[in-house]
């Protein structure tokens, strides 16, 4: 599913977006296990930012305002789901660009 999302996002990139990111997808993830998984799948085709540092409780984590900027630039936002990261999901939904995908 993640691979499909990465491919789907790459097809819709404009020339301006590709120039800004050297043709790589901008991906934002939450917890470090998801960050590692996405890094292994995306490799050098993506620019990856994890927003919840390793060791912090993702259930109670409150994203800093600077995280909103990362989200506004993301092509793909990957979360754990299952209502475990509500603050991060709420921030992603409020700040993502229209064409960005939340997975």
For domain 2-102, which architecture applies? 3-Layer(aba) Sandwich (3.40)
User: What's the confidence (pLDDT) of residue 12?
Assistant: 52
Instruction: Quote the pTM value.
Output: 0.75
Per-residue confidence band for 101, with pLDDT thresholds at 50, 70 and 90? very high
Cα dist from 69 to 10, 29, 41, 97, whole Å? 20, 14, 24, 11
Tokens of 19: 């120039």
Q: Bridge partners of 32? A: none
Q: What is the pLDDT of residues 38-82, one digit of tens each?
A: 999 999 999 999 998 888 887 777 778 888 899 999 999 999 877
pLDDT value at residue 93: 93
Phi first, then psi, for residue 45 (nearest 5°) are: -80, -5
pLDDT recorded at residue 38: 97
| 53 CB-near residues (< 8 Å, 6+ apart) | 32
């Amino acid at each position: 599913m993640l691979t499909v999302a990465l491919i789907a996002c790459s097809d819709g990139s404009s020339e301006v977006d590709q120039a800004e990111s050297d043709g790589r997808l901008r991906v934002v993830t939450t917890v470090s296990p998801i960050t590692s998984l996405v890094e292994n799948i995306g490799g050098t085709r993506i620019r990856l930012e994890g927003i919840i540092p390793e060791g912090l409780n993702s259930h109670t984590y409150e994203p800093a305002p600077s995280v909103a900027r990362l989200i506004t630039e993301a092509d793909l936002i990957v979360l754990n789901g299952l209502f475990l990261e509500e603050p991060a999901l709420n921030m992603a939904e409020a700040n993502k660009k229209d064409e960005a995908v939340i997975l």
